[in-house]
């Protein structure tokens, strides 16, 4: 259910000689939450695909295909992307599973959780930790969200990946990590119960141009 997302974007760089554009590769993750005969629908963070020229989605068997934005909600840092089934091999389609949704509202502090994602762009990896707190108010780029806090390692590239409980159910979308010399083990995920309705709206939205 968990995929890797690799993006191409253009970054403006200021130097003594003026400003120029530089192509930048980005790495993120996503979670398959629905599929039909024509499309695979993937949930990720908005910041994973924002300002990208193009991005590809790599599935668990290593096969990749072009991804397209379906709908985005910057205020919730959520995006839905799609991949055409016609762009994938039969064996890849057969290996793709939709994530089973759990309930983030029923979580208890201290229970064990797992984080899965494309850490550092190396491919899928898994880390283990505990649910440290619920409804933590975290502000990033002037947007405040109430998030799940965990000490499971969440590194660059994990954004958009899955936070699951010990029953294998999706309970959160990994989003941010606080970093500082004095900070350790403070990662955050968007609780699934807070975005279920929004995800369905984004899935049926007009495709992002």
Residue 159 annotated in active site: yes
Residue 8 annotated in active site: no
Catalytic residue among 7, 47, 132, 175: 47
Residue 90's contacts (CB-CB under 8 Å, 6 or more residues apart) are none
C-alpha 29: how far from chain center: 4
Catalytic residue among 7, 76, 77, 104: 77
Residue 182 annotated in active site: no
| Cβ atoms within 10 Å, residue 202 | 23
C-alpha distances (whole Å) from 154 to each of 5, 32, 59, 186 are 16, 19, 20, 8
Catalytic residue among 29, 159, 175, 194: 159
Cα–Cα distance for residue pair 176/89, rounded to 1 Å = 33
Pairing mode, strands 143-150 and 187-191 = antiparallel
Element (H, E) at 196: helix 196-203
Active site (catalytic) residues: 47, 77, 159
């Amino acid at each position: 259910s968990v995929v890797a997302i690799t993006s191409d974007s253009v970054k403006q760089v200021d130097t003594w000689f003026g400003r120029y554009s530089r192509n930048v590769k980005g790495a993120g993750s996503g979670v398959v939450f629905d599929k039909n005969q024509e499309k695979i629908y993937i949930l990720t963070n908005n910041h994973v695909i924002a300002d990208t020229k193009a991005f590809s989605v790599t599935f668990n068997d290593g096969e990749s295909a072009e991804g397209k934005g379906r709908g985005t909600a910057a205020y919730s840092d959520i995006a839905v992307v799609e991949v055409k089934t016609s762009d994938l091999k039969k064996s890849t389609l057969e290996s793709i599973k939709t994530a089973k949704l759990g309930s983030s509202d029923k979580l208890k502090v201290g229970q064990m959780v797992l984080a899965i994602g494309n850490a550092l762009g190396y491919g899928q990896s898994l880390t283990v930790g505990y649910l440290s707190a619920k409804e933590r108010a975290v502000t990033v780029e002037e947007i405040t969200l109430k998030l799940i806090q965990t000490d499971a390692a969440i590194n660059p590239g994990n954004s958009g990946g899955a936070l699951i409980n010990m029953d294998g159910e999706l309970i959160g979308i990994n989003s941010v990590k606080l970093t500082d010399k004095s900070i350790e083990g403070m990662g955050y995920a968007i609780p699934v119960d807070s975005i279920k309705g929004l995800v369905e709206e984004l899935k049926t939205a007009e495709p992002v141009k």
